[in-house]
């Protein structure tokens, strides 16, 4: 059967190879790395500049965190309120437990309208449920209208960033894609198209204008959903969002249940956090808000699909749920030294980068090779957590998920790490034993006149082929203590704290994942929060009305 839209690459994302294997072809692609480096360094600088402009930026982040935490803690209440308000506003509300249900609901609505073409605003959640392909299978063409998504769709490609999905493409590649593909699916690109971004954008404008004008049905996601007014918010730049939200007769919006905020007042915080964190602008060019059907203006049939797709399960996990605060700004990926070098594709998910590594395995479960490897796709440098506008402790969550991977797959591929950890546990459990290990290591160190070991037989080679192994200290700390402080107060008080002493501290990796809670919990910036100067603090639980009563 002939396809209606360009085919994406074959295969499913969840079948991607483990991260460490998947990155190899990308690491070898110099063009890709150059594109990414340029893009991420540009946006990092912009973000840093505009966040520094607000003296209360840190307070804003804390309040953003509080608003999202509060909503998630009372999510059933706010979801019910949101549904009630939407219905009062003339919208039709649908609930979808998973991707399959969501696609079926949307397909049915489109089919009932008797159309075979829809336009779509860029939306991560529609990528997550693979809506385009579900519609294509039912003979409905779903057109991406965001410029970057259009580049990806016409390029038979997959997005590699949640904010700038074609971040991996440069202007020459984009020109080629437009010249080759636009003519197959609508208004062709002008033959003399050059690689100037301005002209490339103009070609997209021309190509999509016809589609906007004739579309009867549009599909969108939502950046925020305001529970107490039944309002949806779309934050965008190009105006394709406004086109989709305004021109067609029917609008279908799908949103993850975590996108709620209690009341309109909370947007004062969110609409400062998101644009500055995302594109590094003081404000994005266009933000649209609508509350159901507006008589005589815009779509007169409005549907809202509320999607779970794993979120309910994540919410039950008191540690993992912090990820649900995410507002999809992409600041973490632009900051990440790993993402910057490999791009989004090796993450095997529509959510790449640091946030993807903690979100995807939780939404999909830790069963596939890629999902088990994602928590390890990090150096734990912490740059992501420093910029996150809602203070998601991504490194802590990575460590937590590594622990879960090990726990849930004890007999799996991490058998060796397990044995090493067990060995270390045995050695450290008793003071006497630990002392002996220290002595032994010192002995070995003194016997070999080396600073570093450059080669070890397997399995030690797994370490030494990438790095040298520092020799243990020649004398243990206990020995030093005895010599220098022996007989003093606290005699014999050193009881083998990990990290002290000369025990062959095998791979740093071995230190994480062993603790139940050691690494999870407040980082240095996470002090208690009090409302910043201009920001009304979050107040009022579900019983006494929604958040931000204006300090009344």
Partner 1 sequence: MDRLELFRDRLIDYKATVARASGNEEISALVLRFLQEVKAATLVGPPALDKAWRTGTREAGIRILRDDPPLFKDVLNKTAAVVTAATVGIAETGTLVLDHRPDQGRRIISLLPDTHICVVGAEQIVTSVSEAVEQLASSVAAKRPMTWISGPSATVDIELTRVEGVHGPRNLYVIVSG
Q: Which residues bind partner 1 (CB under 8 A)?
A: 35, 38-39, 42-43, 89, 145-148, 151, 164-167, 170-171, 174, 197-198, 200-202, 204-205, 208-209, 212-213, 226, 229, 231, 237-240, 242-243, 245-247, 264-265, 267-268, 271-272, 279, 281-292, 294, 296-298, 534-536, 550
Q: 217 pairs with which residues across the strands? A: 250
Cβ proximity to partner 1: between 156 and 474 the closer is: 156
Least Cβ distance, residue 25 to partner 1 (angstroms)? 22
Enter the tokens of residue 507: 């791979």
Smallest CA-to-CA distance from 159 within 333, 205, 150, 532 is with 150
Contact between 86 and 93 (Cβ < 8 Å)? yes
Least Cβ distance, residue 289 to partner 1 (angstroms)? 4
Cβ proximity to partner 1: between 247 and 420 the closer is: 247
Least Cβ distance, residue 113 to partner 1 (angstroms)? 17
Least Cβ distance, residue 30 to partner 1 (angstroms)? 16
Torsion over CA: 471, 475, 477, 480 (sign): negative
Enter the tokens of residue 287: 């933000």
Smallest CA-to-CA distance from 279 within 39, 91, 441 is with 39
Cβ proximity to partner 1: between 110 and 226 the closer is: 226
Least Cβ distance, residue 246 to partner 1 (angstroms)? 5
Enter the tokens of residue 138: 């039912």
Who contacts 344 (Cβ-Cβ below 8 Å, separation ≥6)? 159, 160, 161, 167, 168, 333, 352, 353, 356
What's the rounded Cα separation, in Å, for the pair 363 and 313? Answer: 8
What's the rounded Cα separation, in Å, for the pair 326 and 397? Answer: 13
Smallest CA-to-CA distance from 107 within 254, 241, 208, 9 is with 254
Cβ proximity to partner 1: between 278 and 307 the closer is: 278
What's the rounded Cα separation, in Å, for the pair 235 and 35? Answer: 25
Cβ proximity to partner 1: between 245 and 342 the closer is: 245
Cβ proximity to partner 1: between 292 and 375 the closer is: 292
State the burial class of residue 197 (Cβ atoms within 10 Å of its Cβ: 0-12, 13-18, 19+): exposed
Cβ proximity to partner 1: between 242 and 325 the closer is: 242
Least Cβ distance, residue 143 to partner 1 (angstroms)? 13
Cβ proximity to partner 1: between 124 and 289 the closer is: 289
Who contacts 362 (Cβ-Cβ below 8 Å, separation ≥6)? 310, 313, 314, 317, 320, 323, 401
- DSSP codes joined into one string, 295-362: TTBS-SEEEEEEE-TTHHHHHT-TTGGGGGG-----HHHHH-HHHHHH-SGGG-SSS-HHHHHHHHHH
Cβ proximity to partner 1: between 198 and 411 the closer is: 198
Please, what is the Cα angle at 483 between 479 and 486, to 5 degrees?
A: 100
Cβ proximity to partner 1: between 119 and 405 the closer is: 119
């Amino acid at each position: 059967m002939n396809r209606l839209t360009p085919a994406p690459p074959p295969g499913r994302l969840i079948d991607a190879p483990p991260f460490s294997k998947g990155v190899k072809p990308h690491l070898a692609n110099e063009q890709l790395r150059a594109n990414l480096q340029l893009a991420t360094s540009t946006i990092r600088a912009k973000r840093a500049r505009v966040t520094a402009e607000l003296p209360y930026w840190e307070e804003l982040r804390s309040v953003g965190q509080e608003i999202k935490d509060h909503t998630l803690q009372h999510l059933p209440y706010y979801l019910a309120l949101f549904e009630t308000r939407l219905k009062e506003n003339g919208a039709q509300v649908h609930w979808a437990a998973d991707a399959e249900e969501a696609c079926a609901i949307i397909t049915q609505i489109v089919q009932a309208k008797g159309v075979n073409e829809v336009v779509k605003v860029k939306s991560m959640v529609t990528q997550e449920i693979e809506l385009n392909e579900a519609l294509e299978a039912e003979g409905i063409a779903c057109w991406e209208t965001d410029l970057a998504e259009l580049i990806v769709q016409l390029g038979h490609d997959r997005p590699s960033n949640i904010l700038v999905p074609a971040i991996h493409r440069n202007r020459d590649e984009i020109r080629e894609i437009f010249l080759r593909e636009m003519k197959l699916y609508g208004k062709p690109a002008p033959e003399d198209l050059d690689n100037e971004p301005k002209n490339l954008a103009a070609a997209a404008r021309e190509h999509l204008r016809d589609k906007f004008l004739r579309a009867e049905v549009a599909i969108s996601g939502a950046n925020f959903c305001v529970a107490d007014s039944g309002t949806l918010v779309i934050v965008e730049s190009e105006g394709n969002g406004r086109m989709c939200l305004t021109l067609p007769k029917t609008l279908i919006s799908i949103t993850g249940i975590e996108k709620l905020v209690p009341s309109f007042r909370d947007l004062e915080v969110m609409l400062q956090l998101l644009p500055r964190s995302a594109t590094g602008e003081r404000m994005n060019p266009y933000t649209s808000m609508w509350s159901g059907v507006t008589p005589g203006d815009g779509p007169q049939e409005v549907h809202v699909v509320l999607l779970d797709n794993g979120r309910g399960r994540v919410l039950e996990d008191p540690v993992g749920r912090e990820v649900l605060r995410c507002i999809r700004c992409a600041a973490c990926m632009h900051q990440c030294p790993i993402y910057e070098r490999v791009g989004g594709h090796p993450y095997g998910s529509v959510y790449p980068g640091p946030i993807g590594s903690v979100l995807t395995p939780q939404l999909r479960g830790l069963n596939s090779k890629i999902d088990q490897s994602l928590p390890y796709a990090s150096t734990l440098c912490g740059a992501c957590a420093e910029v996150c506008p809602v203070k998601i402790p991504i490194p802590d969550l990575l460590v937590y998920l590594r622990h879960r991977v090990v726990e849930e797959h004890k007999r799996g591929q991490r058998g060796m790490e397990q044995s090493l950890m067990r060995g270390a546990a045995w050695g450290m459990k008793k003071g006497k034993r630990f002392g002996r290990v220290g002595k032994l290591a010192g002995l070995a160190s003194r016997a070999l006149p080396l600073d570093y070991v450059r080669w070890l037989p397997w399995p030690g080679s797994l370490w030494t082929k990438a790095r040298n192994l520092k020799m243990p200290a020649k004398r243990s700390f206990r020995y030093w203590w005895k010599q220098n402080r022996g007989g003093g107060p606290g005699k014999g008080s050193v009881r083998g704290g990990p990290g002290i002493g000369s025990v062959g501290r095998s791979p740093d990796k071995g230190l994480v994942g062993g603790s139940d809670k050691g690494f999870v919990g407040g980082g240095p910036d996470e002090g208690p929060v009090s409302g910043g100067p201009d920001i009304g603090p979050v107040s009022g639980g579900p019983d006494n009305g929604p958040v931000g009563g204006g300090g009344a």
